[in-house]
Chains A and B, each alone.
Chain A
Amino acid sequence: MSILPLLVFKYYNFVNESIWSLLSRLGLRYELHGLNWAIPVGISFFTFQAVGYLFDVYYQRIKAEKSIVDYTLFVCFFPQIFSGPISKANELLPQIKEEHRFNYQQGVQGLKFLLWGMFLKLVLADRLGLYVDKVAASYEMYSGGTCVLSAVFYSLQIYGDFAGYSLMAIGVAKTLGFNLINNFNRPYFSVSITDFWRRWHISLSRWLKDYVYIPMGGSRCSKLRNYWNIFVTFLVSGIWHGANWTFIVWGLIHGFAQIIEKALGWNNKESKGITRMLRIVCTFVIVTVAWVFFRMPSLGDAVKFLSHAVSDLGKPQVLSIANFAIYGLAIAIVVVKEVREELFPSKLRFLNNRYVRWIKYVVVFCLILLCGALDSGSFIYGSF
């Protein structure tokens, strides 16, 4: 019953069209009317949150919630209802029941998250989105280099967009006195696809692990069964992202990559120096190729885009010098921040100096106003 609204709203048309397409190839006429309904905002997120609660109650990890008001607030907690993070009942419900008073330190921390989230969304993601959208709409007209650049930009765009939203949600919740799970941990520094899923959309990875992968047997079974479990988990991940074959292929690319890594023993292998760099680059390339399937409207377009990118080599086109200056600035700021946090977390302490911190806040705030794409653009994950 919990997943019925999700199935009807999100997948009815997809299943209907897929069956119609299959039968029409066999010469059979079958057609049901499609639904032209508005899909409730964040349906995938709050459905997963509700399903997680049911599992936890069923397996007696938590007690059933008696207050309908608290339960409703848990499922519909407004900072996260649009695009997560997907919280577990044992994390959020106790916080809902607590009395909250304003905490200055938590408020400041929340506003910092909010500011950085807005920078990622408005300056990085939405600006890069202008280039990506233009190239993706008519990729045949651009050189292969331009397509490759737009694919790389999309990897950064979706990170800025989704991590930006998550940080804003976490920040808003923090100012209200609630702590939500951190959803991203510098995912493009991953050394393998397995590592990528420990750093990207952490709340979804955790949900899939707890409610799909482990109930199927996880890794405490035969190798083949374990590979099957990984395959099914990422198939579910792909289907969850959207009712389109492109998302299913995207999920399967990640699933197969993890199976290969596991078979070769690369999933937990530590590496340093050049080897680590090479692994980071290889992982980024695989993730970027998979994002092409995620971005393009159909499988055919994704395959054509990739073949065009590698066959029609040419210089990447700079569509607007002003935009490229902003891309460069935004990417440089994000890379410097993330490199510092990933590689030198306890060094460069002067950056934590009070005055330096305030300079950073003012600069980021001004950059949002001066360079952010301040239109009424939406969030990529808002459509899931």
Chain B
Amino acid sequence: MGSSRAAHHYVPELITEKLGMSCFNAGQDGNGIILQYGRWKMISERYYPKLIIYDLTFGYDIAQNDNMTYLDRLKPFSYDKTIRAYITGLFPVENLKLFSKMYCFNYKFLEILSDLMREEVTDGYLPITSKMKLDREYKSFPFDGNKVDDIKLNNVEKLVEECNENGVKLVFVVSPSYLGGDYDVEAFEPIRKISVNHNIPFYYYCDSEISNDANLFSDPSHLNDEGARTFTCIIAEAIKKL
């Protein structure tokens, strides 16, 4: 679970091979805990997975920004009472808007059509084949404590608690970014604290060895297929040791 970094960085077939369990990549472009907690609620109504690898992105899991945009992919499922309650809990006015099915499927109908035309099945994993051309200096952004979003952190905490209650092993990972990437480890401190309090493993690979190899990236924030395969093997080995 996680953002586009999750969708592009974890190869389900390798996780199945290394950990001996079926796997689906639920990462979603431009999304984080607001969407993923809703998805968790839907999944947990039916069954509990053995393991969740949650890839953290500062902008989508910690920073304060417009949470309304993250609900887009949950609106088509608003017929489900739990999802409706979750959406209207965050934005009460949505209760009225959700009566319109056109509103619920706003923009989604074209995505559904384009997904139907997609031939390859990759269990949610979206491989990128291009290599990063750019060779420029990147600097990490200093952590600004004022920008922490309590709603997002609350969702993270609830996810952790519900996973613990139901025997689901949860692992937090910050996957590699080119040359150490967008944010320092300090930026993830609020979630690291939650993970320490609840005894959840927290892996910070943002500035790991593979972060220095431009050939493994398609852009500074995303690994390409080769990078994703290398990284999936590394994280699978780490989880195996738990």
Residues of chain A touching chain B, judged by Cβ–Cβ distance below 8 Å, are 138, 140-141, 321-322, 325-326, 366, 369-377
- Cross-chain contact of A369 among B100, B111, B219, B220 (Cβ < 8 A): B100
Nearest residue (CB) in A for B103 is A369
Whether A369 touches B136, Cβ cut-off 8 Å, given contacts A321-B114, A375-B66, A375-B69, is no
B79 in contact (CB, < 8 A): no
Please name all residues of chain B whose beta carbon is closer than 8 Å to the beta carbon of A373 when the two chains form the complex: 107
Q: How large is the interface on B (under 10, 10 to 19, 20 to 34, 35 or more residues)?
A: 20 to 34
CA distance A374 to B98 in the complex (A): 12
- Cross-chain contact of A376 among B66, B97, B111, B114 (Cβ < 8 A): B66
Q: Assess whether B102 is in contact with A370, with CB atoms less than 8 Å apart.
A: yes
1/0 per residue, CB under 8 A from A, across B135-157: the answer is: 01000000000000000000000
Q: Assess whether B68 is in contact with A369, with CB atoms less than 8 Å apart.
A: no
How near does chain A come to B88, taking the closest CB pair, in angstroms?
16
Whether A141 touches B134, Cβ cut-off 8 Å, given contacts A369-B100, A375-B68, A376-B66, is yes
Whether A370 touches B66, Cβ cut-off 8 Å, given contacts A141-B134, A321-B114, is no
Q: Assess whether B106 is in contact with A322, with CB atoms less than 8 Å apart.
A: no
CA distance A372 to B72 in the complex (A): 12
CA distance A140 to B69 in the complex (A): 26
How near does chain B come to A301, taking the closest CB pair, in angstroms?
14
Residues of chain B touching chain A, judged by Cβ–Cβ distance below 8 Å, are 66, 68-69, 72, 97, 100, 102-103, 105-107, 109-111, 113-114, 134, 136, 219-220
- Cross-chain contact of A371 among B66, B107, B134, B136 (Cβ < 8 A): B107
CA distance A52 to B106 in the complex (A): 43
CA distance A212 to B220 in the complex (A): 48
How near does chain B come to A313, taking the closest CB pair, in angstroms?
14
Please name all residues of chain A whose beta carbon is closer than 8 Å to the beta carbon of B72 when the two chains form the complex: 375
Q: Assess whether A326 is in contact with B110, with CB atoms less than 8 Å apart.
A: yes
CA distance A141 to B132 in the complex (A): 8
Nearest residue (CB) in A for B70 is A375
8 contacts between A and B (CB under 8 A): A140-B134, A141-B219, A369-B102, A370-B106, A370-B107, A371-B110, A374-B106, A376-B68
